Amino acid sequence: MPNATIETSEVQPLPDDRLKSLEHQLLDLSKTRLITQNTKITCEGKLKALFLKADTVQARLRDRVRPDNARPDVTRPPVSHRPQYRSGLCGPILDSHYRAALGALKLMKPSFNRAKATLRESVVKQRMLGRELVLGWLYKATLEDVLRAGTRDQFFLAMRLVPLIQDFQWALQQHLPEYWQFHLAQAKKLVRPPDEKLETLHRVADPHQKRMLEVWDQTQYYHFMGVEAFSTLTLNHNILFGAHADRRNMPGTLGCLTALGDYAGGALCFPRLGVAFDLRPRDLLVADTNEEFHGSSSLIVGDRYSVVAYLHGGLDKGWRPAYDKRGALKGIAKITDRNKHALRRIDMRDGSQVAAAGNSEVTPPFTYTPNFLTRDETDELTTYFETLPSMPAKTALPGTFSVRKTKWGSRTLY
């Protein structure tokens, strides 16, 4: 698919005065242009969306003929023994990754929160039917740890989403390589404070799951488990949203979303851009949901799940990796008004200037251990998921889910 045809469309923005009247309202699909093929949307010279259409038949074919059509590893350069991905053979999301994610979403559905009880209540329509669940990291709330309860209580089900999120990363790397480098730089700013520890692990009943979470608590970055480019996932089920902009993501970053299940309706509109996307299973949309108004345009019939991955700006607590002039990682330093100009040089791997200036204290030790999986490990994890027996929905209740101790059942991500 890297060489597949992608149309580029420059759109004219809707005036701000007309946009304001649409806030928190369901949108009219007839007043937008429905995008139905691979398209890159730009507005005023800025990238606003990339829509990648699925080719379901070819995606399944690719899964059956894995050795000749393997994608390149997104975390390291291709090597001679790893066959290259053959362009045009499948869409952005592999069928096996889709099935693993959909199975996990169905098992997690009983733990989804009703839409009327979510933090986004003001923009939610159809409140009695829609549900959502936040996974990964988010700012600490009154009854929530910095690692959301959905991840803590259903760690192994959440792991089934990792291959799907890996496909998001692959699409960014292949189709938006310059943006991908910027996105990774923003992701590496989400450094955990050196003294932060999870405070709710005592609520986990399963000892094996608790041990996995204790290992996970050692991570130094607010990155969703198994990936390197996203901190947080929002899972939706049959939710309709009025027009809104997220406004809380890391500056300049795009969100990735896909839809799963058997459904009709629920097209996503961007009124300022005048475009809409009716996501079907295995489609992928990369979009500026942080700055652009977006919302639902029609009712949903059936079961529509969506997975939205993003970098939450509330997790940037001002800590940055500090490097010496040779590029060696020395520790982390806290941004303050006195050292913020010097800390900009930390991002350029010149952290020794900060320590020499005496404006901040570099806190050792800080060892960066990648917490994301390689492409080969992701494929192996997917194969493991497919060997698991079908489980009743009750296994998704907090503290009750466990897997047998095989290689992947006992594996940590470090």
Q: What's the pLDDT band for 116 if we cut at 50, 70, 90?
A: low
pLDDT digits (tens, 9 = 90+) for 155-192: 889 989 999 999 999 999 999 999 999 999 999 899 99
Domains of the chain: which residue ranges? 8-77+88-315, 319-357
pLDDT > 90: what percent of the chain? Answer: 36
Residue owning tokens 């699925």: 54
pLDDT digits (tens, 9 = 90+) for 385-400: 666 555 433 333 233 3
CA gap 181, 191 in Å, rounded: 18
Contact between residue 225 and residue 159 where contact means Cβ atoms under 8 Å apart? yes
Q: What's the pLDDT band for 56 if we cut at 50, 70, 90?
A: very low
Report which of 137, 133, 370, 369 is spatially closest to residue 231, judged by C-alpha positions: 137
CA gap 396, 104 in Å, rounded: 9
> To 10 degrees, the CA torsion angle through 91, 93, 96, 102?
-130
CA gap 297, 300 in Å, rounded: 10
CA gap 226, 243 in Å, rounded: 32
Residue owning tokens 């259903």: 154
Tokens of 135: 């996974």
The residues near 21 (Cβ < 8 Å, ≥ 6 apart) are: none
CA gap 99, 305 in Å, rounded: 12
Give the three-class secondary structure for 165: helix
Distances in Å between the alpha carbon of 207 and those of 108, 353, 410? 20, 45, 11
**Beta-carbon-side half-sphere exposure of residue 266 (alpha carbons within 13 Å):** 25
Kindly tell me if the per-residue pLDDT of 133 is higher than 80.
yes
Contact between residue 130 and residue 236 where contact means Cβ atoms under 8 Å apart? yes
Q: What is the DSSP letter of 127?
A: T
What integer pLDDT is reported at residue 356 of this predicted model? 39
What integer pLDDT is reported at residue 229 of this predicted model? 94
Edge-first strand order for the sheet with 232-237 is: 7-11, 39-43, 46-52, 284-287, 255-265, 300-310, 232-237, 131-136, 113-114
At the topology level of CATH, where does 8-77+88-315 sit? Jelly Rolls (2.60.120)
Mean pLDDT is highest, among 141-145, 231-235, 368-372, for: 231-235
CA gap 165, 284 in Å, rounded: 11
Asked if omega into 13 is within 30° of 0 (cis), the reply is no
Report which of 122, 392, 104, 94 is spatially closest to residue 237, judged by C-alpha positions: 104
Q: How many residues does the chain have?
A: 414
Q: What burial letters (b/e) apply to 88-121, b meaning 16+ CB within 10 Å?
A: ebbbbbbbbbbbbbbbbbbbbbebbeebeebeee
Contact between residue 309 and residue 232 where contact means Cβ atoms under 8 Å apart? yes
What integer pLDDT is reported at residue 130 of this predicted model? 82
Give the three-class secondary structure for 88: coil
β 46-52/124-125 pair status: unpaired
pLDDT > 70: what percent of the chain? Answer: 66
pLDDT digits (tens, 9 = 90+) for 340-380: 555 544 443 433 344 433 344 555 444 444 455 566 666 66
CA gap 155, 158 in Å, rounded: 5
**Beta-carbon-side half-sphere exposure of residue 164 (alpha carbons within 13 Å):** 31
Tokens of 342: 């010097």
Lowest mean pLDDT across 47-61, 213-227, 338-352, 363-377:
338-352
CA gap 216, 414 in Å, rounded: 8
Q: What's the pLDDT band for 338 if we cut at 50, 70, 90?
A: low
Contact between residue 35 and residue 118 where contact means Cβ atoms under 8 Å apart? no
What integer pLDDT is reported at residue 378 of this predicted model? 62
Residue owning tokens 């990792």: 162
Distances in Å between the alpha carbon of 392 and those of 157, 395, 401? 13, 6, 11
Mean pLDDT taken over the chain: 75
What integer pLDDT is reported at residue 382 of this predicted model? 63
